[in-house]
Amino acid sequence: MRSMRENVEVVIIGAGPAGLTLANLLQRAGIGCVVLERQSRSYVEQRQRAGVLEHDGARVFEEWGLGESVLAGTSSDGRLEIRLDGRPRFFDVAALTDGRAGRVVPQQVLVQRLIATFVEGGGDLRFDAAEVTPHGLDGPAPAVTYTDADGGRHEIACAYVAGCDGFHGVSRASIPEGALTTYTYDHGVAWLTVLADALPPRHALFGIHPAGFAAQFARGPRASRFYLECGTADSLDEWGDERIWEQLRLRLGDPGLPTGPITEKLFVEMRCFVADPMSYGRLFLVGDAAHIITPMGGKGMNLAIADANVLARRLRAALREGDEGPLAAYSETCLKRVWDHQEFSRWMHEMMHEAGNVTLAGPFRRQLARARLERLFASDAAARAFADLMA
């Protein structure tokens, strides 16, 4: 068995939106990095999850000179629709935020483009890396070991490790117990999410209905992601295609809802998690490795990109200007945004669910949730505050 030892400035563990954004930004900054990904390239490129890149996320790519390669052909969607008991209400995010609005960028499209751009730029991206293990994180000379697809053992010495390997990754797990404070919250409901080759709605669509929450978002020109509130103990056997379409038609108030072949069905736990601090020694946690948030509000992928932007700038200061001060404050900076988005997502979750399904929190809370929703259409200040957080 051959064993190779290398040296690089930064090892990035994980090639999701967090790791790939960081890799591209470090490449632009002229900082050497290697990305180690457990899965194959095709697996990573097909993984369909999020679909909206916020205005600030798009700006990150533009500011680093990646606007053309990452955003070409994507369009911004400045409006959303909330159907309350089947009655449509439109909300113009772009008009309320002076043109700041998110873009429809399916996560797998973003990932494909980030991989292509990084590789074209000479980037070192290694798929099928097994047993990735960080070492010596609390000392001055960390390293990461892994096994390649042919069984070769590798050791990469580095100055810093970026843990971008998602919620179940090895990075956060390698931090000693007691070094992190973790916060968790469970919303007590679940969502069934369905990906279908069905014509998408013109705008992001949220349905509030006594039978439960539902939503439909574009995932490309001919694909939609649907969400259906369901019980936490539900099984896929209980959700045949027929029932899914019947419940979507009911909750979205659209008897003529375009249907199509369902290509994925899975349950999403409505669970939140935050680790504090988002670092340990020379390891920095980025994206889902440090925090997860429910899909309500579409913040998960955007937080990953925002973290990567902060970390790239601060690694550049440390490695090129010898200033480790900004890096030391990485976690504090990122956690402010994380908690702000967690608060917004929970606020929106409560409103969207409790205004519909009375069994969740009772009739009094149902009226409160409806009042909260009405305020968005009655008060310009409330509408602007909401749009600002959605943009």
Residues that bind ligand RFL (CB under 6 A): 13-19, 36-39, 44, 49-52, 107, 129, 132, 164-166, 169-170, 193, 268, 287-288, 295, 298-302, 304
Residue type at position 85: D
Residue type at position 257: L
Distance CA 194, CA 189 (A): 16
Nearer to ligand RFL, 27 or 302 (CB): 302
Alpha-carbon separation of residue 47 from 51, 109, 195 (angstroms): 12, 9, 12
Nearer to ligand RFL, 352 or 366 (CB): 352
3-state secondary structure of 69: helix
Residue ranges with strand state E in the chain: 3-13, 33-36, 52-53, 79-84, 87-92, 103-104, 124-126, 130-135, 143-147, 153-163, 181-196, 204-208, 214-218, 224-230, 262-276, 279-280, 283-285, 291-292
Asked whether 159 and 10 are in contact (CB, 8 A), the reply is yes
User: Token digits for 88?
Assistant: 């449509």
Question: How many helices and strands in the chain, by DSSP H and E?
Answer: 13, 18
Residues 6 or more apart from 264 whose CB is under 8 A from it? 48, 193, 194, 195
Strand partners, 285: 163
Count of CA atoms in the C-beta half-sphere (13 A) of 258: 14
Q: How far is the CB of 94 from ligand RFL (least distance, A)?
A: 18
Q: How far is the CB of 265 from ligand RFL (least distance, A)?
A: 11
Q: How far is the CB of 19 from ligand RFL (least distance, A)?
A: 6
Q: How far is the CB of 120 from ligand RFL (least distance, A)?
A: 20
Residues 6 or more apart from 212 whose CB is under 8 A from it? 228, 229, 230, 247, 251, 353, 356, 357
Alpha-carbon separation of residue 94 from 79, 123, 294, 305, 384 (angstroms): 7, 36, 24, 21, 10
Distance CA 103, CA 311 (A): 23
Asked whether 147 and 234 are in contact (CB, 8 A), the reply is no
Nearer to ligand RFL, 225 or 282 (CB): 225
Q: How far is the CB of 295 from ligand RFL (least distance, A)?
A: 4
Asked whether 142 and 174 are in contact (CB, 8 A), the reply is no
Q: What is the DSSP string of 200-235?
A: PPSSEEEEE-TT--EEEEESSTT-EEEEEEE-TT--
The CA radius of gyration of the chain, in Å to the nearest whole number, is: 22
Nearer to ligand RFL, 125 or 387 (CB): 125
Q: How far is the CB of 31 from ligand RFL (least distance, A)?
A: 19
